[in-house]
Structure 1
Amino acid sequence: MRNRRLVISAALVAAGLGLVPATAQAAPAAGNPDLGITLDTYATTAHGIVLSYGISSAAAALDVTIAWGDGSTDKATAAGADHGSSAHTYAEVGSYTVTVTVKDTTHDLTAVKELKTVTAGAEFTPHAPTRLLDTRSGLGAAKAKVGGRGSVALKVAGAAQIPADVVAVALNVTVTNATEAGHVAVQPGRKFVGAVTSNLNYTAGQTVPNLVIVPVRDGHVQMFNGGWAPVDLIADVTGYFTASAAGGYTTLNPVRAVDTREGLGAAKGQVPGYGTFGVDIAERHGVPKGVTAVALNMTVTNPQEAGHLTAYPSGQAAPSTSSVNFAAGQTVANAVIVPVGPDGKITVRNGGWKPADVVIDVVGYYSRDSRAALRPVDEPFRLIDTREEAWFRKAGQVPARDFLALPLMGDSPKPVDGWVLNATVTNTKGAGFLSVAADPNTWPDYQKGIAVKPPRPVSSALNWTAGATAANLVQTSGGKGDVIDFWNQGWEGVDVVVDCLGFYESD
């Protein structure tokens, strides 16, 4: 069998990423009827493109000038009919007009052709938490449960002042009123084309949220109920991505900002029912001043009754949305992206009637000074399912107090800035939690047997109880070699499933 080393760049091509469908043909110039230009561009990175050009011409000395649309130019020469290519990296993501000028120095003739191109990367604009979908009330869709193996299309572009050219959206998706177990998959587009991944899992009677970052296609996203019984679906927007300068992402090693059990970052003691507290974000925990939004993992534990938490910018009234839902006695985590208030703070509200403890880990932030832009995959795809054999490991659970090292880029010379993943733990026999962190080794280190054992993380990405299947969105660095560790912090083996939703690049 050939080496099946996973190289994400190849997988992304298979998933439909990378090509910018743009071609152009110049008209012939008088005096040299063969003189003409064809242009084509395709994306190579979040900010980079390659321009391919073809020149038709009689035998003549030609000067070629490429104006990239951002004030910079490249020059080349040709002798008659020729073709070539040139790469360029833009300082900012966006839409640009590339102009190619070919001058026939023999006949003193010039041909010019323009081509519009859009970078593959998109930057983040925070949005005050706003409900876009609630099938219980008929908001955003029909007032009816989504049937078993059924789906609902949610219009995102133009809703709640989200722009028409939105590339991807950050949604907190919640399933409720379930009568049987199942899962929900969120996909791009208005038309359901089949889901091979999942975003959240539920059982009868549960209310389960999860953050998703999903591409928008034809102005819509699609939500598929993978269960056999009807459920209600809720979706709250917290931000969106466009191919225009806004906020880039900076990933951080997870750092604990709040733990009410210890009095870290907030008063020691449970948050009272319907109580609120502020969290200092800017200029703490590796987050600079002036950030527009922060990426967090929010965990509720020891709740005395069912309820929910809501995180929102300081200085605003509490929205009618939720960030984390919980049952009495449950420990549950959810990733959230929260706009940061002008004073550098966010507010957290306990929406339940009884007290609960809150734990918050900071995993990254968005700011105008951050350069890494999102490249969402056209269709989410599965990276690993430990229940099945993979190219780098046999099928089998991740042992207790051990980790799964997941290689993402093989021998790629330059790792990306961050990964957007959905992690799921299943076949659990006891309670535990999952930690996700960048591995300090490269994959060749593992292949050569020289890898050092990574340190055990102290933060959590998701929590589970015996028999539960739990999922959460994870935004993480891949370290120096794009190897990510998934630590089973429980005392029993578990299966781990990881789906790729996209990645951040600064080039």
Structure 2
Amino acid sequence: MRTSTRRALAALTATTAALLLAPGLAAAKPVQFPVRGYVAAEVAAQLQTALPARFTPLVPQRVLDTRTAGGPVGPGGTTTLDLSARVPAGASAVVLNLTALTGAEGGFVTAYPAGTGRPQVSNLNAPAGSVRPNAVTVALGATRAVTLYNQAGNTHLVVDLAGYYKPATGSYYTATTPTRVLDTRQSAAVGPREVVAVATGVPAGATAVTLTVTGIGGAAGTYVTAYPGGSARPEASNLNLAPGQVAANLVTVPVGPGGRVDLFNLAGSTHLVVDVAGFYTPGGGSEFTPLAPFRVGDTRDAGSAALARDTTAYLPFYDFLPEGTTAVAFTLTGTAPTAGTYLTAAPTGAARPLASNLNLAPGETAANLAVVALNPYRELDIYNFAGSTHAIVDLAGFFGPATAQG
């Protein structure tokens, strides 16, 4: 279905929007997120060699800490993370938690397959003197390695490995409409060195869950660690918070008995909000096709405009992702917001969920990995709550029907 047809359907009422699965119907989409002209060719080229893969979750394990070995990565510098001893031969992508600890100058960090050219994307934005994490899903290079590029300043990098994708091995993904399963603002903040158990609601047999963890209004600088419920806490972190900060990070973590995930808060008291985005099971679902990361769209491009207050922009994937695509993995970056705000990504045409993917302070540049279900037409919405903000989408891969690889 092309854009002209979709514009004609924009006059459909909210009642018909509820009939999203009926052929030929779509919800009103008044604003389109800009898509760069090279995107279709880029995907087509990568699909010549990319293979669908399944996921094997790991209890989070630290695989790099430049504070204890190697020293900070300088401006314009790179470090290569060899994961050949951590993931098996044939692994095609990994899920990491990447944390940057900046000095006097901040910048951005890019993760990409080792041995390839550095793409014009970013995974993590960190101002001077900050500790900033972000989840990263990234394709591996030929030697099962990932290169990390630091744009500016002297920056320490800490990396925790959460799992890997490999063809014909592991669990399948099921994307869901984001569902809020914890909000401690309705009860009590999580205290220092306290653990809160989260019932994720995943089905029996699930191996892992993907969720957005947001920290709000901490009394002290702290970090939060997610790990399988009832197990020993690993030496890893998922979310770093400055006092009073509101920030989110995507987490993919194995589940404990009953689908439980534990969240540990190091210091002070902080509120935690958890939104489930999907889960992995061995019995069926979608496989992931990793792509070398590239920029899909940027509202700062000529002819585009920032997302206005209380505005939803739809992002069409139907021209470049295969039919049957169920979800996408991308880094969502917000920059130059005029007010404190949040962004929510969800399937186009569905009711906007009570959830968020990215929180922004006025003037801040920040990023978060998002794994978001698409509607049957391969579209998703990006909603901006307050003020105006620019948004950037860098694609890491997509989920689609299971193949007959094994």
> What is the SS of the residue equivalent to 1:397?
coil
**Matched residue of 2:89: which SS?**
coil
Paired with 2:145 and 2:77, the residues of 1 have a C-alpha distance of 16
Q: Which residue of 2 aligns with 1:276?
A: 195
1:474 partner amino acid: A
Report the 3-state secondary structure (helix = DSSP H, G, I; strand = E; otherwise coil) of the residue aligned with 1:261. helix
Relative contact order higher in (CA < 8 Å, ≥ 6 apart): 2
Structure 1 residue 469, shift from structure 2 partner: 0.4
Cα distance in 2, alignment partners of residues 362 and 322 from structure 1: 18
Superposition CA RMSD, Å: 1.9
Q: Do the aligned partners of 1:438 and 1:483 also contact (CA within 8 Å) in 2?
A: yes
Aligned to 1:480: 376
Aligned ranges 1:259-274 → 2 under 5 Å: 259-262=183-186, 268-274=187-193
Distance 1:316 1:306 in 2: 25
Cα distance change, pair 195–412 in 1 and its aligned pair in 2 (3 A) = closer
TM-score if structure 2 supplies the norm length?
A: 0.87
1:193 and 2:117 matched: yes
Structure 1 position 368 matched with structure 2 position 288? no
Letter in 1 for 2:371: Q
2:392 maps to amino acid: V
Residue deviations 1:426-475, cap 9 Å, x none?
Answer: 011210100001102xxxxxxxxxxxxx6443210010101110100000
Task: Tell me the equivalent position of 1:22.
Answer: none
Structure 1 residues 41-76: Cα deviation after superposition (integer angstroms, max 9, x where no partner):
xx7xxxxxxxxxxxxxxxxxxxxxxxxxxxxxxxxx
Counterpart among 238, 241, 263 of residue 165 in structure 2: 241
Residues 7-22 of structure 1 aligned to structure 2 (within 5 Å): 10-14=41-45, 16-19=46-49
Find the aligned partners of 2:38 and 2:116 in 1 and give their Cα distance.
Answer: 28
User: Residue 376 and residue 412 in structure 1: after superposition, are their counterparts in 2 closer, same or farther (change >3 A)?
Assistant: closer
Match of residue 388 from structure 1: 301
CA contact (8 A) 1:173 1:235 kept: yes
1:178 matched residue in structure 2: 103
Cα distance in structure 2, aligned partners of 1:411 and 1:230: 38
Equivalent residue in structure 2 for 1:458, among 349, 354, 376? 354
1:502 aligns with 2:384: no
1:165-314 equivalences under 5 Å are 165-189=90-114, 191=115, 193-217=117-141, 218-227=143-152, 229-262=153-186, 268-281=187-200, 284=201, 287-314=202-229
In 2, the alpha carbon distance for the partners of 1:489 and 1:478 equals: 21
**Separation (CA, whole Å) in 1 of partners of 2:309 and 2:217:** 24
Residues of 1 paired with 2:399 and 2:266: CA distance?
33
Shift of 1:212: 0.5
Query: Match for 2:180: what amino acid?
Result: R
Q: Rg: which structure is higher?
A: 1
1:429 aligned to 2:338?
A: yes
* Distance in 2, Cα, partners of 1:146 & 1:366: 35
Q: What's the offset of the Cα at 1:504?
A: 0.7
TM-score by length of 1: 0.70
Post-superposition Cα deviations, 1:197-250, rounded to whole Å, max 9, x if no partner, equal 0001010111000000111112200000012x1100010011111112310100
Kept after mapping to 1: 8 A contact 2:100/2:156: yes
Residue 27 of structure 2 corresponds to residue 132 of structure 1: no
Q: Check conservation: 1:261, 1:269, Cα contact below 8 A.
A: yes
2-side partners of 1:317 and 1:412: how far apart? 40
% identical equivalent positions: 33
Code of the aligned partner of 1:11: E
Query: Whole-Å Cα distance in 2 between the matches of residues 178 and 257 of structure 1?
Result: 36
In the aligned structure 1, how far is the partner of 2:67 from the partner of 2:140?
Answer: 24
SS in 2 for 1:300: strand
How many Å apart are 1:194 and its aligned residue? 2.3
Query: SS at 2:91's partner residue?
Result: coil
Query: Are the aligned partners of 2:179 and 2:353 in contact in 1 as well (CA < 8 Å)?
Result: no
Alpha-carbon distance in structure 2 between the residues aligned to 1:469 and 1:255: 26
Q: Which residue of 1 aligns with 2:364?
A: 468
Q: Which runs of 5+ in 1 are unaligned?
A: 20-42, 44-119, 263-267, 441-453
CA contact under 8 A between 2:238 and 2:251: conserved in structure 1?
yes
Could you list the per-position Cα deviations for residues 123-154 of structure 1 after superposition, in whole angstroms to 9, with x for gaps in the alignment? 0001010000000001xxx2x10010111000
Aligned-pair distance for 1:403?
Answer: 1.5
Structure 2 stretches lacking a partner, 5+ long:
5-34
Q: CA deviation at 1:192?
A: 6.0
Counterparts in 2 of 1:404 and 1:275: CA distance versus 1, 3 Å:
same
Equivalent residues in 2 for 1:281-360, closer than 5 Å: 281=200, 284=201, 287-352=202-267, 354-360=268-274
2:54 matched residue in structure 1: 123
- Rounded to whole Å, the distance in 1 between the matches of 2:322 and 2:357 is 28
Structure 2 CA distance for aligned equivalents of residues 134 and 312 of structure 1 = 20
| Aligned mates of 1:455, 1:279 — CA distance in 2 | 25
What SS does the aligned partner of 2:323 have? Answer: coil
Shift of 1:413: 8.2
CA contact (8 A) 2:220 2:244 kept: yes
Residue in 1 that maps onto 2:80:
153
